[in-house]
């Protein structure tokens, strides 16, 4: 490849990245529509601790810069407020009792410099306990235009389920634990690790099964069973 060819590829990809960053605006409007639909159920929202939305453009430095969305790295966060847990715990810093709460379960959309989109969920942060994972990727898209209204509804559904799985009153449930592990397994960052563990586990089960079958066959051939 010569210098001109390399420059043309970079130029082309820069233009395509700009187009994808422009498309963020329309995806964000779809997210806002779904947020308003979910947040309209005030009773359920209050049980979650409230539900809020924030964006990178709300940051003071970006807001005052007058940049448009294609000129900075975009993100959109949906997050919960505080849920009181009905118990008191000792504050490890102040060494006094405080009412325990959990907060800040999150669904967020993050855009890379090339305009691609990652979708994460994050667990409740609780005074009374902690789940293993910090965040899980539930979606990866090359272009914001691929994040359709249907996919956004699916993201919100996963997020709300994940809230119920990581709330301290529900986190000990086996089904909720398995759902969290299912999400982790489908996070592309961990797929190869979990697949390797599954292969090793399957191999061990197979070895035990074959060993048991060999013993059974030996006993049968010897007339002992």
Q: What digits encode the pLDDT tens for the residues 185-215?
A: 999 888 665 555 554 545 555 555 555 444 4
Do residues 45 and 124 both lie within one domain? yes
Are both 30 and 99 inside the same structural domain? yes
Range of the domain at 219: 190-225
Q: What is the reported pTM? A: 0.81
Together in a domain, 181 and 197: no
β-strand pairing of 97-103 with 117-122: unpaired
For residues 55 and 158, state if they share a domain: yes
pLDDT of residue 219: 46
Q: For residues 210 and 183, state if they share a domain.
A: no
Q: What is the DSSP letter of 74?
A: -
- On the question of pLDDT at 53 being above 90, the answer is yes
Answer yes or no: do 171 and 198 share one domain.
Answer: no
Check whether residue 81 and residue 29 sit in a common domain: yes
Assign 93 a pLDDT band (cuts: 50, 70, 90). Answer: confident
Share of the chain residues as helix, strand and coil, in percent rounded to the nearest 5: 55, 20, 25
User: Do residues 44 and 128 both lie within one domain?
Assistant: yes
Query: In terms of domains, do 21 and 36 share one?
Result: yes
Instruction: Tell me if 103 sits within 8 A of 125, measured CB to CB.
Output: yes
CA distances from 61 to 64, 75, 221 (A): 5, 15, 81
Same domain as 224, residue 145? no
CA distance 23 to 45: 29
Above 90 in pLDDT, residue 171?
no
Domain match, 218 and 167 both? no
Judge if 77 and 160 occupy the same domain: yes
Task: Kindly state the tokens that stand for 224.
Answer: 């002992």
pLDDT above 90: residue 116:
yes
Residue 100 · residue 124 · CB < 8 Å: no
How many domains does the chain divide into? 2
Mean pLDDT calculated for residue range 33-41? 96
Q: Treating both helix axes as pointing N-terminal to C-terminal, what angle do 3-39 and 149-166 enclose, rounded to 10 degrees?
A: 60
């Amino acid at each position: 490849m010569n210098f001109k060819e390399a420059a043309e590829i970079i130029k082309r990809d820069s233009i395509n990245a700009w187009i994808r960053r422009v498309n963020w605006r329309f995806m964000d409007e779809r997210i806002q529509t779904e947020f308003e639909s979910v947040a309209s159920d005030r009773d359920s929202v209050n049980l979650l601790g409230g539900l809020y939305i924030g964006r990178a453009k709300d940051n003071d430095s970006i807001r005052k810069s007058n940049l448009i969305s294609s000129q900075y790295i975009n993100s959109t966060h949906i997050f919960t407020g505080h849920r009181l847990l009905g118990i008191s715990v000792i504050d490890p810093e102040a060494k006094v009792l405080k009412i325990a709460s959990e907060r800040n379960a999150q669904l967020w959309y993050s855009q890379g410099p090339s305009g691609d989109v990652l979708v994460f969920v994050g667990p409740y942060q609780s005074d009374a306990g902690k789940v293993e994972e910090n965040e899980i990727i539930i979606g990866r898209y090359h272009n914001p235009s691929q994040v359709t209204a249907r996919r956004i509804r699916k993201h919100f559904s996963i997020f709300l389920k994940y809230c119920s799985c990581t709330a301290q009153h529900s986190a000990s449930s086996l089904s909720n634990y398995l759902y969290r592990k299912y999400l982790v397994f489908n996070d592309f960052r961990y797929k190869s690790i979990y697949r390797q563990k599954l292969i090793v586990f399957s191999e061990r089960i197979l070895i035990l099964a074959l060993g048991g079958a060999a013993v059974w066959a030996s006993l049968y051939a010897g007339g002992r069973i």
